[in-house]
Chain A
Amino acid sequence: MEKRKYYQPEIETMPVEQIKKMQSEKLVKQVKHVYEHVPYYRDLMDKKGVKPEDIHGIEDLYKLPFIEKSDLRETYPYGMLAVPLEDCVRIQSTSGTTGKRVIAYYTQNDVDLWEECCARALIAVGADKEDVVQVSYGYGLFTGGPGLNGGSHKVGCLTLPMSSGNTDRQIQFMTDLKATVLCCTPSYAAYLGESLHDMGYTPDTISLKAGIFGAEPWTQENRRELEKSLGIKAYDIYGLTEISGPGVSFECTAQGGMHVNEDHFIAEIINPETGEPLPEGEKGELVFTCLDKEAFPLLRYRTRDICVLTREACPCGRTFVRMSKPMGRSDDMMIIRGVNVFPSQIEAVLINEGCSLNYQIKISRVNNSDTFDIYVELPPEQFDDSVKNLTAKEKSLQAALRSMLGIGPDVHLVPPKTIARSEGKAVRIIDERKLHD
């Protein structure tokens, strides 16, 4: 049987104008639904002086108020629910690493919509009915396992619901049942790769051909390493519990960014400082509006992820807009001497240079000019008792950071464990500038 190129070709390859028209129609209905059923959002709209009648299509999207993570905490647990609780069949929840947990509700339609998104993602990396999909994301409140599990069912793959952990068992099932597609976090994929090597397996002796990795930031270099170590093509997937889960956007075999499932979600890029929408191709904060979700239909939800959208034609034939891998988080973004700097960029350089991720950034302002210092804990194995060699190490780090960031910080090497930690997590950024009165 020939493999399918798309899960829902009529939608995934729909002409852009038609997608926009469809989005406009759905948006008008969705805004009305939310205004009528979510008092909290109704208040936000009233405060902004916007009525559902003011929204005629996606061109009016900018008029709607944003929803932020803090709104979800404030309305915990039921405040954003837009249908009676009896219509809900499922909850999922965030890990709560950045504060209180967020609970998202799903009707059966919401679950189906989400699983369809994951099914599209699987077909897009070349999976179909004859494939064996090993889902090694965690199952439970975390959306990774349930999302890909449901998508794999919809495609008709044999699904191995492994969840995460128990590596020996993972490898036994992977090899005995000849899994062809692996879905997990990139760090767990790397760990599975190492374990396979330790057990004497080589990429030729396992059947994997593709991996769908998400839920964590990972780099192009990670991609190359995973592809080499597992003998696969490694693909990115993006999603967040607040919007549904993995599959909000997904990568195709062109590996050139993730297609946003635009029939269900509108993606916008805004200036994180001002909230102004930015034109296509500009870097800014990603904002999602749910068009079809019933139970937990967030409008203009600020993801805090910084990325770029493009509508350039994709060789795969999908017309859905593509988003870049998130380049950082807007809540961590620093503006230093007019340049946007993200801790994630600094971390990428430190990892590349074999340095510890225990670092601290100090920004101050002297004579109306920003000072930018980075303190990096020197790994013990890189210690050299010559000042010349340590200074050379600082200079090389500075050059690498300058090339990544566009501005060069002053790098200071300090002994391990000397950077202050509070509650186990290091204080990363000290900004001593007084930019607001």
Chain B
Amino acid sequence: MAIRQLSVFLENKKGTLHEITDVLAKENINLRSMCIADTADYGIVRIIADDPERAGKILNETGHTASIREVTAFAVPDCPGGLAKVLSILEENSIDIEYMYALVTTSIDKAYAVMRTNDDKSAEKVLLKNGIELLEEENI
């Protein structure tokens, strides 16, 4: 129960983000969601895209550093307290979040998010147990 995320290591320099999105655009790869973490030296771009394997291969072939990892995607009711409930479940189970970002969606009553935790397997188990809907790639 996980979705594949494409991560790219970028130099913190003008034009690098455009360059990789351009490479993916030319290969007709659609980006569904994206989150950037940056430091003074580098940036890490995390992307949910269709066909992540092909996207990663193309980026590596064009001289970028890209990798694929599985992340947990879940849905919560799009209302106040929706996300807080998920976080409290994780906290009760001593699961730490490395990062989390929202998935762009067309649904009107649900919000989607993606996260990496220090223990993704347990995170998925406790969320399911508490009735949180997890997403698979075909649902997004």
Please report A residues at the B interface, Cβ cutoff 8 Å. 375, 378, 380, 383, 385-388, 390-391, 412-418
Q: Tell me the B1-54 residues at the A interface (CB within 8 Å).
A: 5, 7, 9-11, 37, 39-42, 44, 46
A415 to B67, CA, bound (A): 13
What 0/1 pattern do residues 63 to 92 of B give for CB contact below 8 A with A?
A: 111010100000000000000000000000
Q: Which residues of A contact B67 (CB under 8 A)?
A: 380, 383, 385
Residue B109 at the A interface, CB < 8 A? no
Contact B69 A385 (CB under 8 A): yes
Also in contact, A415 and B37, with CB within 8 A (given A380-B60, A385-B69): no
Ordered by A's residue number, 20 sampled pairs between the chains whose C-beta atoms are within 8 Å are A375-B41, A378-B65, A380-B65, A385-B5, A385-B67, A385-B116, A386-B98, A387-B44, A390-B39, A390-B42, A391-B39, A412-B40, A413-B41, A414-B11, A414-B41, A414-B42, A415-B9, A416-B65, A417-B63, A418-B11
Please report B residues at the A interface, Cβ cutoff 8 Å. 5, 7, 9-11, 37, 39-42, 44, 46, 60, 63-65, 67, 69, 98-99, 116
DSSP majority for the B interface? Answer: strand
Q: Which residues of B contact A380 (CB under 8 A)?
A: 60, 65, 67
Contact A383 B65 (CB under 8 A): yes
Instruction: Please give the distance in Å from A263's CB to the nearest CB on chain B.
Output: 55
A386 to B9, CA, bound (A): 10
Instruction: Please give the distance in Å from A137's CB to the nearest CB on chain B.
Output: 37
Q: Which residues of B contact A415 (CB under 8 A)?
A: 9-11, 42, 64-65
When A and B form their complex, which 9 residue pairs have the shortest distance between CB atoms, in order from nearest? A385-B7, A412-B41, A386-B98, A380-B65, A418-B11, A415-B9, A387-B37, A383-B9, A415-B65
Q: Which residues of B contact A412 (CB under 8 A)?
A: 40-42
Q: Which residues of B contact A378 (CB under 8 A)?
A: 9, 65
